[in-house]
Amino acid sequence: MNSKNRLFLALLSACCLATASAAALSEAEINSRVNDLLSRMTLEEKIGQLNQLSGYGYAPEMVGHIRSGAVGSILNEVDPEVVNKLQHEAVENTRLGIPLIFARDVIHGFKTIFPIPLGQAATWNPAIVEEGARIAADEAGSVGIRWTFSPMVDIARDARWGRIAEGFGEDPVLATALGVAMVKGYQGDDLTKPNTMAACAKHFAGYGAAEAGKDYNTTWIPEELLRDVYLRPFKALADAGSATFMCSFNDINGVPSSGNRKLLQNILRDEWGYDGLMVSDWGSIQQMIPHGYSENLRHAAAQAVDAGVDIDMESYAYTGHLRDLVEKGEVSEARVDSLVRNVLNLKYRLGLFENPYVDMASAKRFYAPASLEAARRAVEESAILLKNSGTLPINNSKVKKIAVIGPMADAQHDQAGTWVFDLEKEHSVTPLTALQQMYGKENIIYAPGLEYTRDLNTKGFSDAVKAAKKADVVLYFAGEEAVLSGEAHCRADLSLPGAQSRLLDELKATGKPVVLIVQAGRQLALMHECETADAVVYCFHGGTMTGPGLANLLAGTTNFSGRSPVSFPRMSGQEPLYYNRKNTGRPAEGITLINDIPLEAGQTSTGCTSFYLDAGDGALFPFGYGLSYTTFAYSDPVLSATEIAPDGSLTVKCTITNTGKRAGAEVAQLYIRDHVASLVRPVRELRGFEKITLQPGESRTVEFQLHPSDLAFHINGAQTAVEPGEFSVWVAPNANEGNPVKFNVVKPAEIASR
Ligand code: BGC
């Protein structure tokens, strides 16, 4: 049979096979097949499995790599026909027929784009996140993508860092819950199903702590902090079965992650028992040279193998040097086998040996109506109402004409946010379109004022002001273009780019009520804007259905329930800014701001406490914050005990009542503080949350458990301790509010002696 016919038959059989999943093999069966295959592989073939390349179509050079067994997985190939042709080369035209894995950065949707992960975090709703991941896996799986480099669970405490957009914000407990939900959504209950993807917990580790919020920058993180905060979500994702991990670009305490044996081997594998796959970041093995950790690529390859990086993504370090390293006895073949084992294992777990091809009959399953609805709901739950002096919801009896202004009102590309390689922007429904549909085109006066968010040209201002004067309410859509956040897109200045702030002032000067709606990739510093506008809505880039979601919220068809997953700064210079900070020996009090200081005041006259003369102290809007069209009242928390032993648990109950006139969802947040400890503890730490919907007048009691692991912290590196002493506990609407109640952790001997 010639190869054309074989390809045809292979693709035909793929059509019949791919809709059904290959039966999942047991772990023992997978191990025995992996061992058998491994025993038949040459060293060259093994090294090929460890090599990941970026795709460039069905090109002769790539076909050559595949046929010679020099590549084991390919990223960035999304045309299902090309995927099948390349797969055919691997399955039919190599000695052992080992299938390829096709991978892609499907970060917040493949075609139907969901809010950026930071926006998904603002939903505080794991079910929304899981559903988004499920839909992404179905769409991406339909073109043969079976591995996504997501979720990113890097804790980020600095809004200057562009990649804050890609994670779940500043808190490890929130990031853990949402990261686990995302893994579940991608992987489903059976990874052999062709509409699932292997998840990838990234970037291991500490990447979000980049000094000064500058991407790829150095991180210095004491082991206790690393474990309490930065590793917490990773540990949970390892336990939840994230099929893969990716190591990070940064050096952490002097050692780049790609060569960091302590992280990759000692902590992840030995201590946590993780048995999935570790992929390098793009070129990160090679980058150990400029880091100053490796002499050359050969050295870097040896260090990465020793640390436990299974797949080399685009460094060509393994294909270039591993053979020589093994032949010279510097790396053992057994070590290479242990890496290859993880790759083959994943291929079996994905069912690729049985079911390697994309089913062309059901390929390209994009934009299903139910997926678009899910994306709209995600926008509705992710947008945060930061301020409302009664302008919202838009009052239909008073508002006849609406002015829609601003560069983000009709930005099909930019509303999608960062990390959308596969955007078809004509599918993005913008706020302008949605509002025109909702209120009738004739009632919307559109004048963008600025063409794009960085625009400094004010020639459009006069039309915008004219539009505002003719309208009963002004909806001003400002923010950041997608390109201003994401990898390598950090900002030192967190103000609204371009002339957007000036335009807001001019709109306000018309005397019309102005609603500022911000779409951005991070929390911006909007002190002036929040004072100026009558209402402020914050929407991290919302994706395909931004328009319909926002229109429903502005009109009041849906109520706001988004809560901030980050602390909003008053000024850029406050960063890094996060709620779970330490108290210091001189916590802020008696703040005197710069313009209130008398001339020639004495150096100590402003008090000597911890605040800024210009920004004061604390966030403009704290972590967990968000308003609603209704109001909620919290009872004081009720504890099941006022004393517990260090290994004891506690129940915390709190009754929440909807005290307003319409239904709404509230996020009850459980915080603790350990008042005195041998390593000073943060002023508050989130330990649980629950989003509940209440009808007007309805009350519900939420119940949380506090276990020893919630009260423990790391000490002396890896050791954990629950120390006796006083704790406070809050159930609160955000990190600044709520009434604390106290309990004590008491030594067992003390309890016994009473
Ligand atoms: C990013 C990763 C991404 C990889 C592959 C890198 O630049 O840091 O997050 O998964 O590229 O595209």
| Residue 751 reports pLDDT greater than 90 | no
Q: Which atom of ligand 1 is nearest to the CA of 150?
A: 10
pTM of the model: 0.97
Positions marked catalytic: 281
| Residue given tokens 């591995």 in the structure block | 147
| Residue 6 reports pLDDT greater than 70 | no
- How far apart are the C-alpha atoms of 76 and 146, rounded to whole Å? 12
The CATH number assigned to the domain with range 632-752 reads 2.60.40.10
pLDDT at site 750: 83
Q: Which of 166, 311, 487 to mutate to test the pocket of ligand 1 (most atoms within 8 A of CB)?
A: 487
- How far apart are the C-alpha atoms of 126 and 623, rounded to whole Å? 18
Beta carbons of 307 and 251 less than 8 angstroms apart: no
Beta carbons of 572 and 492 less than 8 angstroms apart: yes
More confident residue, 24 or 207: 207
pLDDT at site 727: 98
What separation in Å is there between the alpha carbon of 228 and the centre of ligand 1?
Answer: 25
Rg (Cα) of the chain, in Å, rounded? 27
Protein residue with least CA distance to atom 10, ligand 1: 149
Q: Which of 78, 105, 313 to mutate to test the pocket of ligand 1 (most atoms within 8 A of CB)?
A: 105
- Tokens (6 digits) for 540: 């991290």
What separation in Å is there between the alpha carbon of 282 and the centre of ligand 1?
Answer: 6
Q: Which of 74, 77, 149 to mutate to test the pocket of ligand 1 (most atoms within 8 A of CB)?
A: 149
Query: For 374-555, which CATH class?
Result: alpha beta
- Number of other CB atoms surrounding residue 605 within 10 Å: 11
DSSP string covering 355-412: --S--GGG------HHHHHHHHHHHHHH-EEEEESS--S--TTT---EEEESTTTT-T
What separation in Å is there between the alpha carbon of 66 and the centre of ligand 1?
Answer: 22
- How far apart are the C-alpha atoms of 483 and 497, rounded to whole Å? 12
Confidence of residue 753 (pLDDT cuts 50, 70, 90): confident
With b for 16 or more beta-carbon neighbours within 10 A and e for fewer, the 543-557 pattern comes to: bbbbbbbbbbbbbee
Protein residue with least CA distance to atom 2, ligand 1: 281
pLDDT at site 404: 99
Closest CA relative to residue 682, chosen from 574, 588, 583: 583
Beta carbons of 33 and 348 less than 8 angstroms apart: yes
pLDDT at site 227: 98
- How far apart are the C-alpha atoms of 655 and 637, rounded to whole Å? 8
Looking at residue 496, the DSSP 8-state letter turns out to be: P
Q: Which of 197, 215, 282, 420 to mutate to test the pocket of ligand 1 (most atoms within 8 A of CB)?
A: 282
What separation in Å is there between the alpha carbon of 213 and the centre of ligand 1?
Answer: 18
Q: Which of 15-19, 236-240, 265-269, 676-680 has the lowest mean pLDDT?
A: 15-19
Q: Which atom of ligand 1 is nearest to the CA of 249?
A: 8
107-158 pLDDT tens trace: 999 999 999 999 999 999 999 999 999 999 999 999 999 999 999 999 999 9
The domain spans of the chain are 374-555, 585-618, 632-752
What separation in Å is there between the alpha carbon of 630 and the centre of ligand 1?
Answer: 42
| Residue 623 reports pLDDT greater than 70 | yes
What separation in Å is there between the alpha carbon of 309 and the centre of ligand 1?
Answer: 15
What separation in Å is there between the alpha carbon of 200 and the centre of ligand 1?
Answer: 11
What separation in Å is there between the alpha carbon of 283 and the centre of ligand 1?
Answer: 9
| Residue 4 reports pLDDT greater than 70 | no
For residue 247, with 0-12 CB atoms within 10 Å meaning exposed, 13-18 middle and 19 or more buried, which class applies? buried
Protein residue with least CA distance to atom 8, ligand 1: 281
Compute CA distances 629 → 224, 398, 539, 545, 699, whole Å. 41, 18, 17, 22, 17
Protein residue with least CA distance to atom 7, ligand 1: 282
> Residue length, the chain?
754
Residues near ligand 1 with C-beta < 6 Å? 105, 149, 202, 281-282, 487
| Residue 388 reports pLDDT greater than 70 | yes
With b for 16 or more beta-carbon neighbours within 10 A and e for fewer, the 377-410 pattern comes to: bbbbbbbbbbbbeebbbbeeeebeebbbbbbbbb
Mean pLDDT for the stretch of residues 383-398: 97
DSSP helix/strand/coil, 237:
helix
pLDDT at site 579: 98
Beta carbons of 149 and 200 less than 8 angstroms apart: yes
325 phi-psi bin (left φ>0, alpha ψ -120 to 50, beta other): alpha
DSSP string covering 509-578: TTTS-EEEEEEESS----HHHHHHSSEEEEEE---TTHHHHHHHHHHTSS------SSPBPSSGGG-S--
Q: Which atom of ligand 1 is nearest to the CA of 313?
A: 5
Confidence of residue 9 (pLDDT cuts 50, 70, 90): very low
With b for 16 or more beta-carbon neighbours within 10 A and e for fewer, the 325-338 pattern comes to: bbeeebbeeebbbe
Mean pLDDT for the stretch of residues 608-617: 96
Compute CA distances 406 → 136, 241, 271, 413, 464, whole Å. 30, 44, 52, 15, 8
- Number of other CB atoms surrounding residue 631 within 10 Å: 14
- How far apart are the C-alpha atoms of 520 and 165, rounded to whole Å? 9
CB hemisphere CA count around 392 (13 angstroms): 31
- How far apart are the C-alpha atoms of 500 and 484, rounded to whole Å? 15
| Residue 370 reports pLDDT greater than 90 | yes
What separation in Å is there between the alpha carbon of 77 and the centre of ligand 1?
Answer: 15
With b for 16 or more beta-carbon neighbours within 10 A and e for fewer, the 479-507 pattern comes to: bbbbbbbbbebbbeebbbbbbbbebbebb
Q: Which atom of ligand 1 is nearest to the CA of 166?
A: 9
- How far apart are the C-alpha atoms of 393 and 371, rounded to whole Å? 26
What separation in Å is there between the alpha carbon of 409 and the centre of ligand 1?
Answer: 30
pLDDT at site 428: 98
Q: What is the dihedral of CA 276, 342, 66, 294, to 10 degrees?
A: 90
- How far apart are the C-alpha atoms of 333 and 45, rounded to whole Å? 12
Beta strands 147-148 and 384-388: pairing type?
Answer: unpaired
Protein residue with least CA distance to atom 12, ligand 1: 105
- Tokens (6 digits) for 46: 């093994």
Q: Which of 3-12, 262-271, 370-379 has the lowest mean pLDDT?
A: 3-12
Q: Please write down the HEC assignment for all residues of 1-31.
A: CCHHHHHHHHHHHHHHHHCCCCCCCCHHHHH
278-328 pLDDT tens trace: 999 999 999 999 999 999 999 999 999 999 999 999 999 999 999 999 999
Closest CA relative to residue 508, chosen from 566, 543, 548, 464: 464
- Helical pair 317-327 and 297-307, crossing angle rounded to 10 deg: 80
pLDDT at site 152: 98
What separation in Å is there between the alpha carbon of 339 and the centre of ligand 1?
Answer: 21
Give the mean pLDDT of the chain. 96
- How far apart are the C-alpha atoms of 421 and 429, rounded to whole Å? 18
**Cα 745 from chain centre:** 35
Q: Tell whether the torsion through CA atoms of 469, 470, 475 and 480 is positive or negative.
A: negative
598-607 pLDDT tens trace: 999 999 898 9
503-518 pLDDT tens trace: 999 999 999 999 999 9
Closest CA relative to residue 729, chosen from 657, 639, 645: 639
- How far apart are the C-alpha atoms of 501 and 529, rounded to whole Å? 7
pLDDT at site 752: 76
Closest CA relative to residue 365, chosen from 196, 199, 195: 195
Protein residue with least CA distance to atom 4, ligand 1: 282
- How far apart are the C-alpha atoms of 636 and 290, rounded to whole Å? 55
Q: Which atom of ligand 1 is nearest to the CA of 200?
A: 10
Confidence of residue 22 (pLDDT cuts 50, 70, 90): low
What separation in Å is there between the alpha carbon of 615 and the centre of ligand 1?
Answer: 35
pLDDT at site 548: 99
Confidence of residue 15 (pLDDT cuts 50, 70, 90): very low
Please list, in sequence order, all residues whose beta carbon lies within 8 angstroms of the beta carbon of residue 455, skipping any fewer than 6 positions away.
407, 498, 499
What separation in Å is there between the alpha carbon of 230 and the centre of ligand 1?
Answer: 19
Protein residue with least CA distance to atom 5, ligand 1: 282
Please list, in sequence order, all residues whose beta carbon lies within 8 angstroms of the beta carbon of residue 619, skipping any fewer than 6 positions away.
567, 568, 569, 570, 574, 577, 579, 736
- How far apart are the C-alpha atoms of 8 and 402, rounded to whole Å? 58
Protein residue with least CA distance to atom 11, ligand 1: 282
**Backbone phi and psi for residue 749, each to the nearest 5 degrees, phi listed first:** -60, -40
